[in-house]
Amino acid sequence: MFDAFDGLGPDQRLLGETVRQFAREVIAPGAIARDEEERFDRSLIGAMAELGLLAGPFPESVGGAGLTAEAWTIVVEEIAAADMAVAVSLCVHVLHQNPVVRWGTPEQQARWLPAMQAGEALGAFALTEPGAGSDAAALRTRATRLAAGGQEIGPDDRTAGGEPTDAAAYRLDGTKIWISNAPEAERYLVFATLDPARGAGGITAFLVEKGTPGFRFGAHEKKMGIRACPAAELVFDGAVIPAANRLGGEGEGYRVALSALGDGRIAIAAACTGLARAALDRATTYLHERRAFGVEIAELQGLRFMVAEMAQQVASARALTRGAAHARDRGAPGAEVAAAASLAKWTASDAAMRVTTDAVQLFGGAGYSRETGVERLMRDAKGAQIYEGTNQVHRGIVADAILGRVPG
């Protein structure tokens, strides 16, 4: 029950052991230095590509590794146990590809996915704006429809024959904030509105490449934790995106975003489980090493109870995470999977916050020092209670699933 591999079949155990060894040998060693220097290490993306992890949960028909959602949680837990920042970069890269797999045309998939699977192009997911975080449907980045000649055409314009006028391209204007993997990423999935008055119904998704004229990076976010995973503002000032890069139909962007975030939240829950486990493992070792009052501090009952509760938190986080993944794998109704994903993400990120905070306490002064890397785990945990839906938003989703939505 307390081991991540307990209850796994031979294939999943082999997968977990392979990724654990890789994560311990390749990812863990530089984690403290990368955090101190706020340094993104691109070579780790390449190393994960070699292991076939960058498209792990996608079908083999689109070049993925064909892992189930549950198997993907095993992978992500191991990467996060080594370094949460690397796990978040990986999760965001996969979050970008997810809707291309679900919503992309075969032509878009063939054009977009191979470089991402090979690690040659890194992905980012651009939803949040200065005035739209939890209330993502209030986003204001504007997508203006353009005819082949470059002139603007309205969302409801018709041809002389009465047919809807197809846009040849779209012009994007607006600002995104908190976009993880920016400015390192080459590919951005950008959500913009054709008409703010339409709310969620106006939102449309676009595949945007770094270097597109009219698209630049703004300020670098100065973060508390996961500092080796960069985040930055994106500024769109007349960036013209060909219609071939529209993902899904006009007005379908909000559904595109939500469909990806459902899977993304299960992955973040798995990452939080790994982060909490890493803190518990560090604390367990230390309690046997450190002596006070003539005994190992592992003998002090107050601390033993703390460790028992930390183990309870990790086990609960893992159980709910795998439960949500299992619901996804067995094709449970979408609303059920969404509620299970919310429950897992909220529980696992709260568990990570609590367990990492307790680990700092158990280490005493050594836990507070940046030298040991334990305080980094605590800083890395905090963001997970905020990104991919705040934990208040997730409580709301779970309450809706139980009580029904409040009208209006």
Ligand X SMILES: Cc1cc2nc3c(=O)[nH]c(=O)nc-3n(C[C@H](O)[C@H](O)[C@H](O)COP(=O)(O)OP(=O)(O)OC[C@H]3O[C@@H](n4cnc5c(N)ncnc54)[C@H](O)[C@@H]3O)c2cc1C
* Vertex 33 angle, CA 297 and 20, to 5°: 70
Interface pattern 172-191 for ligand X (x via CB under 6 A):
------xxx-----------
Determine whether 388 is an active site residue. yes
Q: Minimum distance between the CB of residue 178 and ligand X, rounded to whole angstroms?
A: 4
Q: Which of residues 53-112 bind ligand X (CB under 6 A)?
A: 92
Q: Which of residues 206-225 bind ligand X (CB under 6 A)?
A: 223
Q: Which of 252, 349, 383, 397 binds ligand X (CB under 6 A)?
A: 383
Q: Minimum distance between the CB of residue 388 and ligand X, rounded to whole angstroms?
A: 6
Piece of the chain touching ligand X by CB under 6 A; list 96-104, 290-298, 318-326, 389-397 = 389-397
144 phi and psi, to 5 degrees? Answer: -105, 130
Q: Does 127 bind ligand X (CB under 6 A)?
A: yes
Q: Which of 43, 134, 285, 312 binds ligand X (CB under 6 A)?
A: 134
The residue written with tokens 């905090």 in the block is 382
**Distance set, CA 307 to CA 351, 356, 365, 372 (Å):** 13, 11, 18, 19
User: Bridge partners of 207?
Assistant: 189
The CB-nearest residue to ligand X is: 133
Q: Which of 118, 386, 399, 401 binds ligand X (CB under 6 A)?
A: 386
Minimum CB distance to ligand X smaller for 179 or for 310: 179
Annotated catalytic residue: which of 77, 233, 375, 388? 388
Q: Which of 396, 398, 400, 401 binds ligand X (CB under 6 A)?
A: 396
Q: Which residues bind ligand X (CB under 6 A)?
A: 92, 125-128, 133-134, 178-180, 223, 226, 231, 383, 386-387, 390, 392-393, 396
Active centre residues (catalytic): 388
